[in-house]
Amino acid sequence: MKMRFAKAVVASTLLAGMLAHAADTIKVGVLHSLSGTMAISETTLKDTVLMLIKKQNEKGGLLGKKLEPVVVDPASNWPLFAEKMRSLLTKDKVDVTFGCWTSVSRKSVLPVVEELNGILFYPVQYEGEESSKNIFYTGAAPNQQAIPAVDYLMNEVKVKRWVLAGTDYVYPRTTNKILKAYLKSKGVKDKDIMVNYTPFGYSDWQSIVSDIKKFGSTGLKTAVVSTINGDANVPFYKELANQGIKAEDIPVVAFSVGEEELSGIDTKPLVGHLAAWNYFQSVETKQNDDFIKSWHKFKKDNKKVTNDPMEATYIGFNLWVKAVKKAGTTDVDKVRKAMIGLSVPNLTSGTATMLKNHHITKPVLIGEIQDNGQFETVWETKKEVPGDAWSNYLPDSKNLISDWTDPVNCGNYNTVTKKCLGNSK
Walk me through the domains of the chain, giving residue ranges and CATH numbers: 2-142+287-363 (3.40.50.2300), 143-284+367-386 (3.40.50.2300)
* Beta carbons of 185 and 246 less than 8 angstroms apart: no
Residues 177, 347: contact at Cβ < 8 Å?
Answer: no
Q: Sorting pLDDT into bands at 50, 70 and 90, what band is 17?
A: very low
Strand, coil or helix: what is 302?
A: coil
Confidence band, pLDDT 50/70/90 cuts, at residue 5: low
Spatial distance between the Cα atoms of 412 and 403, rounded to a whole number of angstroms:
8
Question: Do 409 and 403 touch, CB atoms closer than 8 A?
Answer: yes
Candidate from 31-40, 90-99, 225-234, 264-273 with smallest mean pLDDT? 264-273
Work out the pLDDT band at 23, boundaries 50, 70, 90: low
R_g (Cα) of the chain, nearest Å: 23
Quote the pLDDT of residue 423.
57
Q: What does the pLDDT average to over 338-365? A: 98
Q: Is the pLDDT of residue 347 over 90?
A: yes
C-alpha 359/C-alpha 222 separation (Å) is 32
Write out pLDDT tens, residues 362-403: 999 999 999 999 999 999 999 999 999 999 999 999 999 999
Is 312 within 8 Å of 139 (Cβ atoms)? yes
Mean pLDDT over 258-269 rounds to 82
Among residues 211, 87, 223, the alpha carbon closest in space to that of 152 is found at 223
Q: From CA 327, how far away is CA 338, in angstroms rounded?
A: 6
CA-wise closest residue to 326 among 338, 315, 316: 338
Supply the mean pLDDT for the chain.
Answer: 93
DSSP H helices in 217-273: 233-242, 259-262
Across 311-327, average pLDDT: 98
Within 328-373, where are the H helices? Answer: 332-339
CA 87/CA 91 separation, integer angstroms: 5
Instruction: Output the pTM of the full model.
Output: 0.89
Spatial contact of 304 and 295, defined as CB atoms under 8 Å apart: yes
Per-residue pLDDT at 19:
44
Q: Do residues 280 and 308 lie in contact, with contact meaning Cβ atoms separated by under 8 Å?
A: yes
What separation in angstroms does the CA of 112 have from each of 105, 117, 133, 365? 12, 8, 12, 34
**Per-residue model confidence (pLDDT) at position 256:** 87
pLDDT at position 138 is 98
Count of beta carbons in the 10 Å neighbourhood of residue 424:
17
pLDDT tens, residue by residue, 169-178: 999 999 999 9
Alpha-helical (H) ranges within 186-307 are 206-215, 233-242, 259-262, 286-299
- 307 pLDDT exceeds 50? yes
Work out the percent of the chain whose per-residue pLDDT is above 70: 94
Could you report the per-residue pLDDT of 41-63, keeping only the tens digit for each? 899 999 999 999 999 999 999 99
